[in-house]
Amino acid sequence: MANESRYKMSQERLDKLKEELEYLQTVREKEVAELIKEARSFGDLSENSEYDEAKTEQGKLYSKIAEIQSLIENAEIVEMTAVAGTVGHGSHVKVRDIEEDCVDEYQIVGSQEADPMDGKISSDSPFGRGLLGHCIGETVTVESPSGPISFEILEVN
């Protein structure tokens, strides 16, 4: 497992994953087992679509359980950086796109919590990496598919 990558996340995200795993392994696994049992009671399994669907659901469930177990086993807890005015994990950052002259706000989070549509940017993304360690007033240039983009850091909370 030396080649396994680490998944950066907050302790809160790790706790949610553990809760989800517990639910899947107890409640959901019993529900799927009941679906299979019920489908078997319909008779011939070779032409039983309910049985096929239940087995497919069971496969998806086991796949999801394995995925969550891998995330938990390879979790790397990222603590918030507590340096005032400097961008770190957990920071809320207000930046101004210099070329477009528009202002946006983001939170720098671990890779497992990233949700760009909600303003949560992974610290592993080019933008997140570019902002880390920089202070209010600094200009940061980030490489994007369309070329370099420069941002001025306006606020860090």
Same domain? For 112 and 146 the reply is: yes
pTM exceeds cut of 0.75: no
Strand order in the sheet with 120-122: 120-122, 102-109, 92-97, 147-156, 139-144
Q: Is 86 part of any domain?
A: no
Give the model confidence (pLDDT) of 43-83 as tens digits. 777 778 889 999 999 999 999 999 999 999 999 888 766 57
Residue 118 lies in a domain: yes
- CA atoms of 114 and 68, how far apart (whole Å): 16
Task: Assess whether 66 and 97 both reside in one domain.
Answer: no
- Is a pLDDT exceeding 70 seen at residue 1? no
Which CATH number characterizes residue 59's domain?
1.10.287.180
- Whole domain around residue 37: which residue ranges? 7-77
Q: Is 82 among the domain residues? A: no
Query: Does some domain include residue 70?
Result: yes
Domain annotation covers residue 36: yes
Q: If you average pLDDT over every residue of the chain, what do you get?
A: 90
pLDDT at 143 over 50: yes
What pLDDT is recorded for position 81?
Answer: 63
Domain boundary among 20, 52, 77: 77
**116, part of any domain:** yes
Q: How far apart are CA 124 and CA 95, in angstroms?
A: 18
pLDDT range class, residue 2, cuts 50, 70, 90: very low
* Structure token pair of residue 37: 């049992």
Task: Establish if 27 belongs to a structural domain.
Answer: yes
CATH of the domain at 131: 3.10.50.30
Residue from 100, 92, 25, 115 nearest 61 by CA: 25
